Structure 1
Amino acid sequence: MSSLGLRFVGHSTVRVELGGHVVLTDPVLTNRVSALTRVTPPSTAADRADVDLVLLSHLHGDHVHLPSLRLLHPHVRVIVPRGAGDWLRAKGIRRVDELAPGEELEHGDLRVIGVPADHSGHRWGPRLTHGPQAKAMGHVIEGGGRRVYAAGDTDLFPEMADLGDLDVALLPVWGWGPTLGPGHLNPERAATAVGLLKPRVAVPVHWGTLALTGLTRAPGKHGRRMRHLLEHPPREFEAAVSEAGSPTKVLVTPPGEDVRLLDGVPE
């Protein structure tokens, strides 16, 4: 089996080193995303070094972040949900392929399988109809005898139980604000997802990285709540998985750090 390297770059961005390739999920590599500010140390050039494949789960601006995509080499292969390829090419991204749930593609020695997600696929959110739209999705990455599930943004969906033997599940456990809208996992629902997926290792993502500018310094209960949410969701997720009696090992990893797999192998 091939070794596996993971770095939680921040938010939904994970650097996956597998099968001789470097994959980035939903890259957010800048210090600002619209009205959001990165509240952890900045992403570095090492996060994007040698990347040859990018997986985009859906079109929301904190997942398809055009300034971050433009930091990558123009010949990096970018996989976008089916129906959004022309829109992304019109934004200057050169090498774009499309994928949908139920479809798969090969990239060298990797196989990428599109899987469902329960989340809005519209660029500007679930209540708008103008602008680009494509079905939100997750990805299973296979290579060197390893299987990694990158959920993107999603709530629970029944097909989670059918994704098969997983070494690692990258699961969202919160977001960037004081509340969650529809189509998201909170710590408790992410623990339920672990029960369906049964991965060897779960890595909580989509937490602790971005916040509305100034909110973390706000006085009173609003600032306190945001500061709490930047730190506690992954630990609450870990506790919920443990309470459920799951054998899955939860590896809580701060944004910007490598996931501590045992010699590159899920424990």
Structure 2
Amino acid sequence: MRANLLFAAFSMVSTILFAQKTDYFTTSNGNTLRIAHIGHGTLMCNFRGKVIHIDPWSRLANYDSLPKADYIFLTHHHGDHLDSVALSKVFTSNTQLYWTKICAEQSKLKLEGRLVANGDTIGTPDFRFIAVPAYNIVNKRPNGNPFHPKGEGNGYIFEFDNLRVYVAGDTENIPEMENFGKIDIAFLPANLPYTMSPEMLKAAVMMLKPKILYPYHTGNTDLKALNDILVDMDVEVRFRDLK
């Protein structure tokens, strides 16, 4: 009994914690989109009563206390994005999983998921999404290979009614961003040497022109310097605990 009470208390604290880290948006159809900022490159959304986990990572949260997934999206196969522990906690027989070919090959879990590649546009019963490129041009490993080669990973543009939300994954300011169309909310990574410097992120913002920007996956980036370089941009910058 005491153990059950302790677990219930922990779950309540966890729920309160994530409520404090959640932003709310209303679509043109009157639906509410909730985005919980779990940390790093990990998000949890709720739309039309459906739970959407993006790159769930067990190092950031106790997934025993979080809702099961109606949808899961993985951007790529690196360990802070493809985490079998977190997946095992939120995946159910009714979960729709979208991931890359390499994710499916490297996953420790044999899950039923749909392979998604750059350029795919897919409609679900609750929203539509587009898989877009996510890769490095400048930042490379000592052997000369990019940290994120072109074609291996996805970013995702979600269309929640009229709201278009871009979750970039691990990428630089790639030229394809120029043609992504209207972006209302953008999650862009800013951590060297793996993704973008503040200058690169500013260049991405200039192409995307989002209304709201969340720098995420920020690592050891100086957030003040990042804010200073964006101060003259026509974008609302929202900093959350997404190191």
Q: TM-score range by the shorter chain?
A: 0.7 to 0.9
Q: Secondary structure at the match of 2:187?
A: strand
1:107 & 1:43 partners in 2: Cα distance? 27
- Matching residue of 1:263: none
Partner residue, 1:259: none
Provide the C-alpha distance between the structure 1 equivalents of 2:183 and 2:44, rounded to a whole number of angstroms.
Answer: 17
Match of 2:41 among 4, 12, 17: 12
Please tell me whether residue 96 in structure 1 is matched to residue 113 in structure 2: yes
Is 1:53 aligned with 2:82? no
Alpha-carbon separation, structure 2, partners of 1:173 and 1:83: 24
Q: Please list, as runs of the form range in 1=range in 2, the aligned pairs for 1:107-146 lying within 5 A after superposition.
A: 107-119=124-136, 135-146=152-163
- Secondary structure at 2:90 match in 1: coil
SS of equivalent residue, structure 1 residue 70 = helix
| Structure 1 residue 22 displacement after superposition | 2.2
- Answering whether residue 206 of structure 2 is matched by residue 195 of structure 1, we say yes
1:196-228 superposed Cα distances (whole Å, 9 cap, x missing partner): 1101101011135xxxxxxxxxxxxxxxxxxxx
TM-aligned CA distance change 1:165 to 1:52, over 3 Å:
same
Runs of at least 4 residues off by over 6 Å = 124-128
Moved more, 247-256 or 148-157: 247-256
**Over residues 172-191 of structure 1, what are the superposed CA-to-partner deviations in whole Å (9 max), with x where a residue is unaligned?**
111xxxx514xx11222112
Aligned partners of 1:111, 1:186: CA distance in 2, in Å? 30
User: How has the CA–CA distance of structure 1 residues 25 and 119 changed in structure 2, closer, same or farther, with 3 Å as cutoff?
Assistant: farther
Q: Could you say which structure has the higher helix fraction?
A: 2
1:159 to partner: Cα distance: 0.9
Conservation of the 8 A alpha-carbon contact between 2:214 and 2:238: yes
Letter of the aligned partner of 2:134 in structure 1? A
Does residue 166 of structure 1 match 2:183? Answer: yes
Alpha-carbon distance, 1:153 to partner:
0.2
Letter in 1 for 2:61: S
Fraction of identical pairs, as percent = 26
CA contact (8 A) 1:151 1:171 kept: yes
Could you tell me which amino acid in structure 2 is paired with residue 186 of structure 1?
A: S
Write the mapping of 1:145-160 to structure 2, written as runs, cut at 5 A. 145-160=162-177
TM (norm. structure 1) is: 0.68
The alpha carbon displacement at 1:10 in A equals 0.9
Report SS of the residue matched to 1:166: coil
Separation (CA, whole Å) in 2 of partners of 1:46 and 1:201 = 31
Quote the residue 1:250 is aligned against: 237
Residue 169 of structure 2 aligns to a residue whose secondary structure is coil
Query: Which amino acid is 2:35 matched to?
Result: L
Ranges in structure 1 where 5+ consecutive residues have no aligned partner: 31-41, 209-228, 257-267
Are the equivalent residues in 2 in contact too, given 1:235–1:252 (CA < 8 A)?
Answer: no
RMSD of aligned alpha carbons: 2.8
Question: What runs of 5+ residues in structure 2 fail to find an aligned partner?
Answer: 1-27
CA distance in 1, matches of 2:65, 2:230: 29
Instruction: Give the one of 42, 55, 72 matched to 1:26.
Output: 55
Does the CA contact (< 8 Å) of 2:72 and 2:97 recur in 1? yes
- For the 8 Å contact 1:19–1:110, the answer to whether it is kept is no
Q: Give the C-alpha shift of residue 62 in structure 1.
A: 1.4
What is the TM-score when the length of structure 2 is the normalising length? 0.75
Corresponding position of 1:239 = 228
Given that 2:56 and 2:87 are in contact with CA atoms closer than 8 Å, whether structure 1 keeps it comes out as yes
Higher RCO (CA < 8 A, seq sep 6+) = 1
